[in-house]
Amino acid sequence: MKLALNAEQRHAVEYGAGPLLVLAGAGSGKTRVLTARVARLLQEEGERPERILAVTFTNKAAGVMRDRIADLLGEEPRGLWVGTFHSIAARLLRREGDRLQRGANFTIYAEDDSLRAIKRAMEEADLDTQRWSPNLIRARISDAKNALVSADEYAASAFDLAAKATARVYPAYERILARSNAYDFDDLLANAARLLEGVPEVGDRYASRFRHVLVDEYQDTNHAQYRIVKRLAVEHGNICVVGDDDQSIYGWRGADIRNILDFERDFPGAEVVRLEENYRSTPAILEVANEVISNNRDRKDKRLRTRRPAGEPVQVVQLPDERAEASWIVEQIQGAEIGRGPQDHVVLYRTNAQSRPFEDALRRARIAYRIVGGVRFYERREIKDVLAYLQLAVNPADEAAFARAVSWPRRGVGGVTLDRLRRAAAERSVNLLDAAEIARDLDGVPPGGARSLEDFAAGISALSELACEATTEEVIRECIRSFGIVAALELEEDGADRIANVTELLAAASSFDRTDVEDATAEATDLELYLQSAALHADIDDYDDREPGVTLMTLHNAKGLEFPVVYLVGVEEGLFPLARAMESREELEEERRLFYVGVTRAEDRLFVTHANRRWRYGSEVRAEPSSFLAEMPEGPVEHRSLAVGGGRYRGAGTSRARAAGRRAGGGTRAPRESGSFGDPKRASSGGAGWSSGGASFDWHRGGRRQAEPAGEGKLRYDYSDSQEDLRLESGARVVHPRFGDGLILSVSGEGRLTRAEIEFEDGIRRKVMVAHAGLRPA
Partner DNA sequence: TTCCCTCGTATTTTT
Partner DNA sequence: TACGAGGGAA
Residues 207-246: x/- map of binding to DNA (CB under 7 A)? ----------------------------------------
10 Å Cβ neighbour count for 693? Answer: 10
- Give yes or no for residue 618 binding DNA (CB under 7 A): yes
> Which residue's CB is nearer to DNA, number 350 or number 605?
350
Q: What is the DSSP string of 83-143?
A: EEHHHHHHHHHHHTGGGSSS-TTPEEE-HHHHHHHHHHHHHHTT--TTTS-HHHHHHHHHH
Of these residues, 187, 217, 437, 478, which one is catalytic?
217
Residue 668 CB burial class (10 angstroms; 0-12, 13-18, ≥19): exposed
> Which residue's CB is nearer to DNA, number 286 or number 326?
326
Considering only 346-354, 687-695, 709-717, 741-749, which stretch makes contact with DNA by CB under 7 A?
346-354
- Give yes or no for residue 501 binding DNA (CB under 7 A): no
Residues 246-285: x/- map of binding to DNA (CB under 7 A)? ---x--xx--------------------------------
> Which residue's CB is nearer to DNA, number 69 or number 536?
536
Q: How far is CA 517 from CA 91, 611, 675, in A?
A: 8, 45, 50
> Which residue's CB is nearer to DNA, number 41 or number 536?
536
Asked if 687 and 679 count as a contact pair (C-beta separation under 8 A), the reply is no
The dihedral region occupied by 79, where left means phi > 0, alpha psi between -120 and 50, and beta the remainder, is: left
Give which of 594, 643, 624, 675 is closest to 351, Cα–Cα: 594
Considering only 22-30, 44-52, 54-62, 330-338, which stretch makes contact with DNA by CB under 7 A?
54-62
Q: What is the DSSP string of 331-350?
A: HHHHTPPTT--GGGEEEEES
What part of residues 439-468 is at the interface with DNA (CB under 7 A)?
446, 449
Considering only 416-424, 431-439, 703-711, 751-759, which stretch makes contact with DNA by CB under 7 A?
416-424
Cα separation of 652 and 649, whole Å? 8
Among the listed residues 8, 28, 55, 57, the single contact to DNA using CB under 7 A:
57
Of these residues, 30, 32, 60, 622, which one is catalytic?
30
Among the listed residues 508, 581, 632, 769, the single contact to DNA using CB under 7 A:
581
Residues 526-545: x/- map of binding to DNA (CB under 7 A)? ----------x-xxxx----
Residue 242 CB burial class (10 angstroms; 0-12, 13-18, ≥19): buried
- For the CB of residue 546, give the shortest distance to DNA in the complex, in Å: 20
Query: How many residues are there in the chain?
Result: 778
Give which of 191, 159, 158 is closest to 174, Cα–Cα: 191
- For the CB of residue 85, give the shortest distance to DNA in the complex, in Å: 6
> Which residue's CB is nearer to DNA, number 36 or number 538?
538
- Give yes or no for residue 494 binding DNA (CB under 7 A): no
| Letter string b/e over residues 263-277, b meaning 16 or more CB atoms within 10 A of that residue's CB | beebbeebbebebeb
Residue type, 406: V
Asked if 661 and 650 count as a contact pair (C-beta separation under 8 A), the reply is yes
Of these residues, 9, 84, 221, 247, which one is catalytic?
247
| Letter string b/e over residues 294-325, b meaning 16 or more CB atoms within 10 A of that residue's CB | bbbeebeebebebebeebebbbbbbbbbbbbb
Among the listed residues 417, 532, 641, 692, the single contact to DNA using CB under 7 A:
417
- What lies within 8 Å, CB to CB, of 13 at 6+ separation is 5, 33, 36, 37, 40
Asked if 247 and 597 count as a contact pair (C-beta separation under 8 A), the reply is yes
Among the listed residues 410, 669, 701, 733, the single contact to DNA using CB under 7 A:
410
- Give yes or no for residue 646 binding DNA (CB under 7 A): no
Of these residues, 31, 332, 471, 754, which one is catalytic?
31
- For the CB of residue 527, give the shortest distance to DNA in the complex, in Å: 20
Residues 299-338: x/- map of binding to DNA (CB under 7 A)? ----------------------------------------
Among the listed residues 165, 285, 413, 756, the single contact to DNA using CB under 7 A:
413
- For the CB of residue 559, give the shortest distance to DNA in the complex, in Å: 9
Residues 582-601: x/- map of binding to DNA (CB under 7 A)? -----x--------------
Residue type, 398: D
> Which residue's CB is nearer to DNA, number 174 or number 591?
591
Asked if 47 and 211 count as a contact pair (C-beta separation under 8 A), the reply is yes
Q: Is 379 part of the annotated catalytic residue set?
A: no
Q: Is 601 part of the annotated catalytic residue set?
A: yes
Asked if 16 and 8 count as a contact pair (C-beta separation under 8 A), the reply is no
Q: Is 174 part of the annotated catalytic residue set?
A: no
> Which residue's CB is nearer to DNA, number 15 or number 377?
377
- For the CB of residue 185, give the shortest distance to DNA in the complex, in Å: 4
Among the listed residues 48, 79, 133, 659, the single contact to DNA using CB under 7 A:
133
- For the CB of residue 697, give the shortest distance to DNA in the complex, in Å: 24
Residue type, 728: L
- For the CB of residue 117, give the shortest distance to DNA in the complex, in Å: 12
Q: What backbone phi and psi angles, to 5 degrees, belong to 314?
A: -75, 135
Among the listed residues 10, 302, 308, 556, the single contact to DNA using CB under 7 A:
556
Q: Is 217 part of the annotated catalytic residue set?
A: yes
10 Å Cβ neighbour count for 549? Answer: 15
Cα separation of 246 and 28, whole Å? 13
Among the listed residues 309, 335, 339, 415, the single contact to DNA using CB under 7 A:
415
Asked if 357 and 615 count as a contact pair (C-beta separation under 8 A), the reply is no
> Which residue's CB is nearer to DNA, number 53 or number 273?
53
Among the listed residues 296, 352, 461, 685, the single contact to DNA using CB under 7 A:
352
Q: How far is CA 418 from CA 72, 403, 421, 449, 453, in A?
A: 56, 8, 5, 9, 10
- For the CB of residue 633, give the shortest distance to DNA in the complex, in Å: 26
Cα separation of 489 and 408, whole Å? 10
- For the CB of residue 491, give the shortest distance to DNA in the complex, in Å: 8
- What lies within 8 Å, CB to CB, of 28 at 6+ separation is 275, 276, 277, 278, 279, 304
Q: Is cis: bond before 564, omega within 30 of 0?
A: no
> Which residue's CB is nearer to DNA, number 286 or number 558?
558
Q: Is 128 part of the annotated catalytic residue set?
A: no
- Give yes or no for residue 746 binding DNA (CB under 7 A): no
Asked if 191 and 202 count as a contact pair (C-beta separation under 8 A), the reply is no
Asked if 41 and 14 count as a contact pair (C-beta separation under 8 A), the reply is no
Residues 356-385: x/- map of binding to DNA (CB under 7 A)? -----------------x--x---------
> Which residue's CB is nearer to DNA, number 349 or number 607?
349
Of these residues, 96, 187, 216, 573, which one is catalytic?
216
Helix (H, G, I), strand (E, B) or coil at 233: helix
- Give yes or no for residue 416 binding DNA (CB under 7 A): yes
How many residues touch DNA (CB under 7 A)?
A: 51
- For the CB of residue 259, give the shortest distance to DNA in the complex, in Å: 16
- For the CB of residue 225, give the shortest distance to DNA in the complex, in Å: 9
Residue type, 469: E
The β-bridge partners of 22 are: 242, 273
Residues 63-92: x/- map of binding to DNA (CB under 7 A)? ---------------------xxxx-----
| H helical segments located in 606-762 | 627-630, 655-666, 720-723
Q: Is 299 part of the annotated catalytic residue set?
A: no
Q: Which residues are catalytically annotated?
A: 30-31, 216-217, 247, 601
Residues of this chain that interact with DNA (CB under 7 A) are 57-59, 84-87, 110-111, 119, 129-130, 133, 135, 185, 249, 252-253, 350-353, 373, 376, 407, 410-418, 446, 449, 536, 538-541, 553-554, 556-557, 578, 580-581, 587, 617-618
